[in-house]
Every structure is written in structure tokens, then in C-alpha cells.
Chain A
Amino acid sequence: DVKVTQSSRYLVKRTGEKVFLECVQDMDHENMFWYRQDPGLGLRLIYFSYDVKMKEKGDIPEGYSVSREKKERFSLILESASTNQTSMYLCASSSLGIQDNQPQHFGDGTRLSIL
């Protein structure tokens, strides 16, 4: 079974702090994703990466950056946390592309509160 592990389930930080969310997958997947999930808005893609050191912006990248130095690890960085970044953050991974019917496998999420 694919395992996607997010470093924290719950995290509380202060406005202006630099925040790191870590995600590790154990299935040698090429693709990794960061989403945020807010009530009534579904899952919105922040950034994704299709290879080591490669990244592309998703639909809501403002205020975030990412790092993928190793294939199994994808980090989401909030450069200067703000209260509107309080949300559930979900990491996912997949191999190949959607047209190959390769589903995305999700971690359990990190509920981040910015005070």
C-alpha cells in the first residue's frame, strides 16, 4: 500500500512566522502535490512537482513556495504566515499521469491554525 505521511496532524503558528509542512511518500512516485481544503471550496491545488527540483504553480500559489530536493519528499513553505492561510493542507502523490488511470494517494492532512 502507498503511504503518504505528513509530518504533523495539527499545527499552530503565529502571523508572520515561516512555516514548513513536510510530506514523504514511500512508493517512488514521480508526482507530488500540495492542496488546501476549505469548507465549501473542495480541494484547491497550491503547487505540484513532477520530478526532483521541478515544480509548477497550481491554482492558488500566492504566499506559498515548495521544495523537492529528494524524490520522496515534498515540502510546502509559508513564507510569512497570515491568518487567511488557516486551513487543512493535504499532500498527495501519484505515478505517471491521469490518462494512465493513476490515482492520487493522499496523506491524512495537516490542520494549520495561524493566530
Chain B
Amino acid sequence: GQSLEQPSEVTAVEGAIVQINCTYQTSGFYGLSWYQQHDGGAPTFLSYNALDGLEETGRFSSFLSRSDSYGYLLLQELQMKDSASYFCAVPGDSSYKLIFGSGTRLLVRP
């Protein structure tokens, strides 16, 4: 089956850099996705890594190591609005399905 592990909570200071880790177990692998969800809001897609390495999109970067079944989301120049929950996700037993981690709640302090 598939499973993902990520820390439940991370706290960081405005302007700092934070890394949210995700380890996964999956029988097949298409890629690792990241979603952001603000309190009371809908999850929104952030990034997708199919190949090893770092993908950068503005202040956010996502990394994947398929040999280690590991990835992370890197948030730079943290802003208060980055306070949210972040979910990693991998495909399930079909390419249509996503299996989500339990989420990491990021709190950005002034």
C-alpha cells in the first residue's frame, strides 16, 4: 500500500527559510505533489516532482530523491500569509488517485 509521513507542525520566523519533509512508501511511483491549505480554505496545488532534483517556483522549491523515497518543500523569505497546512501526496494504485499525507501545519511568527 501507500503511506506518507510528514511532521505535524513546524514554526518559523517571518523572513526565515523552512523545510517540510515528506517520506513515502508506494508500490509504483509517478511523482510527489505538494498542496497548500489555509484555514477554512480549499487545498491548492503548489508543485509536482516526477524526477530527482530541485524544482523552483518563486519563493517555493520542491525536492525529490526517488532512491530515498523522500522529498521536501522549501519555503524561503517566509511571510505571514504562508501560515497554512502543507500536504505531500503520491499517486495511489491508479494514476487518477492521490494519497495525501496527514499534513504539516506551518506557523509563521513575526
| A98 partner, pick from B8, B42, B95, B103, beta carbons under 8 A | B95
Main secondary structure of the interface of A (DSSP, over half): strand
Main secondary structure of the interface of B (DSSP, over half): loop
Q: A101-B50, A106-B42, A108-B41 are in contact. Are A42 and B98 (CB under 8 A)?
A: no
A43 to B48 CA separation, bound complex (whole angstroms): 18
| B30 partner, pick from A40, A48, A56, A99, beta carbons under 8 A | A99
**Inter-chain contacts of B31 with A (CB < 8 A):** 98-99, 101
A43 lies within 8 A of B45 (CB): no
A65 to B99 CA separation, bound complex (whole angstroms): 20
B45 lies within 8 A of A98 (CB): no
The smallest C-beta distance from B110 to any residue of chain A, in angstroms, reads 26
**Inter-chain contacts of A35 with B (CB < 8 A):** 100
The smallest C-beta distance from B80 to any residue of chain A, in angstroms, reads 22
Encode contact with A along B28-57: 1 for CB under 8 Å, 0 otherwise.
001101000000011111001010000000
Chain B interface residue count, CB cutoff 8 Å, equals 24
A99 lies within 8 A of B95 (CB): yes
Residue A74 CB within 8 A of the other chain? no
- Name A35-53 residues within 8 Å CB distance of B: 35, 40-45, 48, 50
**Inter-chain contacts of B102 with A (CB < 8 A):** 40-42
A4 to B43 CA separation, bound complex (whole angstroms): 12
Q: Which residues of B pack against A, CB within 8 Å?
A: 8, 30-31, 33, 41-45, 48, 50, 87, 91-92, 94-103
